[in-house]
A and B are shown apart, each in its own frame.
Chain A
């Protein structure tokens, strides 16, 4: 068994990544970001543009370690138009074309607005952005996002911040099976075992934020997630073994009629 397949990289917008753990940067203090990134082995860190302090008071950019790709998100946007404006600001702020679309129309459940997300994706992809849309896992929407030019799709596993795990498992599996794009499981993943399961299903990467922010020891949890994601990826690549199903065989043979 190979310890590590050097070629197993995650490619987003033409850029190769070796880590499949995308780290959120909100919800915990800026001083912890560097240690979290280190222990998570993360190469991509998300950043809420609306929350980013970019002046003299604790400029977030100065806390992001060298070599890490910033993935600014459009949280706070309520429609495609606002998301596009935030994406333009993000490009100025981070100097990168990567953007994660987040468009929410309700402040209680923070569910992504799929229709507006498709619209924003189409506009920004045409402008040359590497667009990673956060979405409710719906296969038709997934296909529309592919057509709109998304670089990956980011379906939610459970309500954001809930730590409830793969509540939408079956629907995420459909996206993984049917779309020719990386599927990055986002939102709701609360434990390393859940991240591992998502990777075993064939997800290209997992994103977590609240699970770390609410853990007793943030950096230790970052490390646990890293190991779980690696394990799940290896299991997926190796091909999962069979699961015996009890009592599935019928006693009445179906193939008795065959002559030769």
Chain B
């Protein structure tokens, strides 16, 4: 615990968060510079109602327009933004809503991120599933009808090796038509290997695009290296992945700037890799087991809705996932407007799907959760709720070749 105290209280004890570690691949890319230039010059208070009205009337939403839509001046226009967002969603996705489930296979972590329940100093039950246990969980989930899975680990290369994750992907590819990964960032060659093992989608959250704030929140571990994390999606695409997911964890820093940076990260990467599928998430920070009282920015439901509408209007082609951190009422409302993907049957703990899906558990091992979920609906309930809202639930959108 001395080390923890030192990291928290002595900034000089931390490694340089802007300097790559020796084994981290550096790629040539100007996307980071472009995103930061726009984000750093963004003054949300500068925009007026007139700018918002103009933005809403433009057929194509420009960077200036999305800046207006994310500004406080747009808050009184939320209903109009929602109407426009709904038209865009409908134009690109019809009335379909995709359902997937996450599967946490290891909650060991080598990082010290002060807001995260998995951080290495947090006293939680740690668990790593072996291949047999992973397969059992997958079997249970697949039998529920789920066809898309997102595999997650804590960020520990020591515990979840590249080989371990690759083997989990191979298993997942046997049970599911679409396999996504949300694991620690790796180099291009490792993404190529994951892709060969059956993974096709890589999601990494930047948490915050404000690198100074990032430094205060990610005190130790490989995750501390901000630029390596920024370029993750591009490395995944260079390795042949079909799609990539993005997010800031809203509330860690100025949420309007983080929302703008996330949108521009997608925008510029899509221009560079037009074949890639892009998706966004929009989580707000939630309480964690053993959490501290760090000062976070409050993001209201109306502000979250505003951000999601701005994303939809600016990036009509992008998938938008709404986290089970949010309430069922919010998720029900937002799938009518902007979201295209929801998780169901979610557990952010380890090894508890069998129990959750009504199986006899016996002496199942369970590890603690990463964060508290809010919407606990099963696949069947979610499916019926979506259908009840006049939308079409979809379990798969992918042909594996």
Query: What residues make up the interface of A, taking CB atoms closer than 8 Å to B?
Result: 139, 143, 173, 177-178, 180, 239-245, 248-250, 253-260
With both beta carbons as reference points, the residue of chain B lying nearest to A258 in the complex is identified as: B301
Residue in A173, A178, A242, A259 whose CB lies within 8 Å of B301: A259
- Total A-B pairs, Cβ < 8 A: 60
B54-A249 in contact (CB<8A): no
**A188 CB, nearest partner CB in chain B, Å:** 22
Give how many B residues have a beta carbon under 8 Å from the other chain's beta carbons. 26
Contact flag A248-B83 (CB < 8 Å), given A143-B274, A257-B330: yes
Contact flag A239-B54 (CB < 8 Å), given A254-B79, A258-B305, A260-B302: yes
- Is B271 engaged at the interface, CB distance under 8 Å to the other chain? yes
Write out the residue numbers on chain A whose beta carbons fall within 8 Å of the beta carbon of B271: 178, 180
A-B contact pairs, 17 of them (CB 8 A): A139-B274, A178-B274, A241-B54, A242-B54, A242-B56, A242-B57, A242-B58, A243-B57, A250-B86, A254-B337, A255-B79, A258-B78, A258-B330, A258-B333, A259-B330, A260-B301, A260-B302
B54-A244 in contact (CB<8A): no
- Is B300 engaged at the interface, CB distance under 8 Å to the other chain? yes
Write out the residue numbers on chain B whose beta carbons fall within 8 Å of the beta carbon of A241: 54, 57
**13 extra A-B contacts, CB within 8 A, seeds A143-B274, A242-B53:** A178-B274, A242-B57, A248-B83, A248-B87, A249-B80, A250-B83, A253-B79, A254-B333, A255-B79, A257-B333, A258-B300, A258-B333, A259-B329
A245-B57 in contact (CB<8A): yes
Write out the residue numbers on chain A whose beta carbons fall within 8 Å of the beta carbon of B79: 253-255
**B155 CB, nearest partner CB in chain A, Å:** 32
Write out the residue numbers on chain B whose beta carbons fall within 8 Å of the beta carbon of A177: 60
How far, in whole Å, are A178 and B267 apart by their CA atoms in the complex? 10
Write out the residue numbers on chain B whose beta carbons fall within 8 Å of the beta carbon of A259: 301, 329-330
The 9 lowest CB-CB distance pairs between A and B, nearest first, are A242-B57, A257-B333, A254-B82, A258-B301, A260-B300, A242-B54, A258-B302, A255-B82, A255-B79
Interface secondary structure of B, over-half rule = helix
Q: Which of A240, A243, A253, A260 has the most CB of B within 10 A?
A: A260
- Is B224 engaged at the interface, CB distance under 8 Å to the other chain? no
- Is B231 engaged at the interface, CB distance under 8 Å to the other chain? no
How far, in whole Å, are A257 and B78 apart by their CA atoms in the complex? 12
A254-B57 in contact (CB<8A): no
- Is B16 engaged at the interface, CB distance under 8 Å to the other chain? no
Residue in A244, A253, A256 whose CB lies within 8 Å of B57: A244
**B335 CB, nearest partner CB in chain A, Å:** 11
**A190 CB, nearest partner CB in chain B, Å:** 24
- Is B336 engaged at the interface, CB distance under 8 Å to the other chain? yes
- Is B332 engaged at the interface, CB distance under 8 Å to the other chain? yes
Write out the residue numbers on chain A whose beta carbons fall within 8 Å of the beta carbon of B54: 239-242
Per-residue A-contact encoding for B328-352, CB less than 8 Å = 1, 0 else? 0110110011000000000000000
